[in-house]
Structure 1
């Protein structure tokens, strides 16, 4: 049996409509009682204001239905029911309780209106049309409420997103924003203040970055010129696995865990690591700055490291490039892994006698410099930088 798309086809004599309207009070009272008894979300016997709101909504629905029966061509204003939908969203509920209340109200109304109309001698067809009109009207009320609900949810979601974006701005500002301002905005954005955070720099060199599926407590700056994230308590249980899953297959760098006030510093380190990854100095994929701190320190000021390299690698400068590479590699292994030729040979996969020969060459070139701990430290810095740059060459 098809339901009519509009109730304008249902016409009842004016005196019958007046009789039905006279019984609205009792019908409304029964509908309200049924709703509050059978739907827990609306059972608030001590909340007088809420009871008045429910009563007004029920009366408006029934009265509006009779208005449309009496004058089918009159324009209908769905705004009151859109506001009801908005109210449900503001209460934090979904639409199920409201839809259940509407269906229950329609059944009770149909039962009582037919009891009122029966003594008036309505034909079976008129009664059928009345029932059909009630349920068509119910659909229209539900559509209006859903529209208001969706609009309110979208507005709330957009407002929360704006607050989170503003919060991210404050957290990444230099100098840091006042803790009170951050705390107030975090509360408004529904974001719990963590003990530590880590900035995440995301690669979007080609403008094709797709947003990852992020945990809800991660603040996202994906629309920024340099996309980034801010991860709360990055060393907390399961956080590393969540990030690995969300960022799998992407080039990204996770900064060190820092106090909230130093969020911008963590992101700065992450961006520097990401740039080194782009150049090939650090591996591609997902990087953690904590695993590459030495490289980040070394490449913090490449000009300074370059100047130091000119001084400390000067004894090798007159050699052919291949000789420089072999001796530099041997010297770095010797500085890193101990002074035994056998151990250095094992690291370099060459014969120990070859290592001894190279070490004698280095002693001749550097002399007493290799006994000075400060010079050895500086040599290791510049040799590590040299090795990383060689590895990054195409």
Structure 2
């Protein structure tokens, strides 16, 4: 009797098929199994269901029988012909199991169980005749080689389906993100589909975040906003666009807006703009515009978090760059013609004066200089540009021009 240990073959014997034809006695034994194919298939099916309960839970008996049958036929015919054949069976099985989301390891284990049952059945039917046993031993490599090839073909087909699903899911996700942030999907029903595709609630407490795109040389191991928020149990979805990264964040009771702002500020993401809070996913596209404007309201090259509520004037300036550029040159032209150091000194003083609500004393404390120094610099600036800080109109024009200069980087400001 050929013992079970023959299941283990050397690499050479398991991968090389002899050129000689299979012994007729072995062909006859294989044919006996094929003649009783339905009963033999059921034996394999019962063994698989016994050893792998997963098959009992997700696949019906009939489905498994229909899948096992052609694989059994292919393996037996491979032994009979002394060459691997009928590769369509494992390929079809691989694709089907991938579609059913049966883990690949479980599928391959079922294949090994089936092949082992075929081997044990051949051993039993060959009986104790040493000549037949020797012939079976000579044909063993045909079975194990076929099993190896079948397993490889199955795994390739299985992973092909996985790749197709990944591509499909990526396309669906990208389409959903475009609709979410652009508002191209205009009906509530369509946005229901968008929310479902992105696993988002339709109603909640949301903000949109706009971040400067990460530099090309950034470390891939650096935590992304999405990964960081996920670690706090916060759901968010992100899309990389040409000029920024956009994210929709679903705030929670334990992770409110203030905490999110602090977290964004600690990550060194460059300019970060945050929209107003909103409650319906339908409002995302409008919030995305707010977040963009808030980000663009921050000084280029800085790492700061700006809320839209705090940046409406700057956002207005940034939204019309050509008008803002013209305003800056019209109002601040003579100052912008100065050397960088002098220009920065005067504009930095003016900025401190605005930050101090028009108080020279407070501006002096901000700049660490005497109030009279502040007054002297402001007097020099207003003389150059022929403006009066006592005129509300001039004060408004100066502030807008100063914001335009900051946002559009006409020169270097000092503080």
The TM-score, its normalising length taken from structure 2, stands at 0.70
Whether contact under 8 Å (1:344, 1:355) holds in the other structure is: yes
Deviations 1:187-225 (CA, angstroms, capped at 9, x unpaired):
3x45434643526465599x9999897659765655x6x
Whether contact under 8 Å (2:335, 2:381) holds in the other structure is: no
Please give the alpha-carbon distance, in whole angstroms, between the structure 1 residues aligned to 2:382 and 2:239. 54
Q: Which residue is equivalent to 2:300? A: 282
Matching of residue 125 in structure 1 with residue 156 in structure 2? no
Whether contact under 8 Å (1:164, 1:219) holds in the other structure is: no
* C-alpha distance 128-324 of structure 1, shift in aligned 2 (>3 A): closer
Whether contact under 8 Å (1:220, 1:230) holds in the other structure is: yes
* C-alpha distance 304-272 of structure 1, shift in aligned 2 (>3 A): same
Alpha-carbon distance, 1:113 to partner: 1.9
3-state SS of paired residue (1:4) = helix
Please give the alpha-carbon distance, in whole angstroms, between the structure 2 residues aligned to 1:143 and 1:318. 74
Please give the alpha-carbon distance, in whole angstroms, between the structure 2 residues aligned to 1:80 and 1:343. 83
3-state SS of paired residue (2:319) = helix
Residue of 199, 223, 233 corresponding to 2:249 = 233
Whether contact under 8 Å (1:204, 1:227) holds in the other structure is: no
Q: Which residue is equivalent to 2:85? A: 76
3-state SS of paired residue (1:198) = strand
Deviations 1:299-325 (CA, angstroms, capped at 9, x unpaired):
3335555676689x59x9799958887
Alpha-carbon distance, 1:51 to partner: 0.5
Deviations 1:209-247 (CA, angstroms, capped at 9, x unpaired):
99897659765655x6x26544231656497799789xx
3-state SS of paired residue (2:247) = strand
Please give the alpha-carbon distance, in whole angstroms, between the structure 2 residues aligned to 1:319 and 1:151. 62
Please give the alpha-carbon distance, in whole angstroms, between the structure 1 residues aligned to 2:260 and 2:287. 17
Q: Which residue is equivalent to 1:171? A: 180
Deviations 1:330-377 (CA, angstroms, capped at 9, x unpaired):
44433421555443222222223433555778999877x6275x7655
Structure 1 gaps of 5+ residues are none
Structure 2 gaps of 5+ residues are 1-9
Matching of residue 296 in structure 1 with residue 305 in structure 2? no
Alpha-carbon distance, 1:77 to partner: 2.7
Alpha-carbon distance, 1:118 to partner: 1.4
3-state SS of paired residue (1:43) = helix
3-state SS of paired residue (2:14) = coil
The TM-score, its normalising length taken from structure 1, stands at 0.73
Please give the alpha-carbon distance, in whole angstroms, between the structure 1 residues aligned to 2:359 and 2:94. 79
Alpha-carbon distance, 1:153 to partner: 0.8
Please give the alpha-carbon distance, in whole angstroms, between the structure 2 residues aligned to 1:62 and 1:21. 9
Please give the alpha-carbon distance, in whole angstroms, between the structure 1 residues aligned to 2:336 and 2:124. 109
* C-alpha distance 220-126 of structure 1, shift in aligned 2 (>3 A): farther
Matching of residue 11 in structure 1 with residue 22 in structure 2? yes
3-state SS of paired residue (2:208) = strand
Alpha-carbon distance, 1:85 to partner: 1.2
Alpha-carbon distance, 1:158 to partner: 1.2
Q: Which residue is equivalent to 1:55? A: 65
* C-alpha distance 94-240 of structure 1, shift in aligned 2 (>3 A): farther
Residue of 135, 148, 169 corresponding to 1:139 = 148
* C-alpha distance 116-337 of structure 1, shift in aligned 2 (>3 A): same
Q: What is the aligned length?
A: 376
Whether contact under 8 Å (2:327, 2:401) holds in the other structure is: yes
Q: Which residue is equivalent to 2:7? A: none
3-state SS of paired residue (1:232) = strand
Alpha-carbon distance, 1:116 to partner: 1.1
Please give the alpha-carbon distance, in whole angstroms, between the structure 1 residues aligned to 2:207 and 2:336. 49
Residue of 364, 373, 395 corresponding to 1:354 = 373
* C-alpha distance 379-106 of structure 1, shift in aligned 2 (>3 A): same
Please give the alpha-carbon distance, in whole angstroms, between the structure 1 residues aligned to 2:250 and 2:29. 70
Please give the alpha-carbon distance, in whole angstroms, between the structure 2 residues aligned to 1:361 and 1:303. 28
Whether contact under 8 Å (1:335, 1:376) holds in the other structure is: no
Whether contact under 8 Å (1:7, 1:69) holds in the other structure is: no
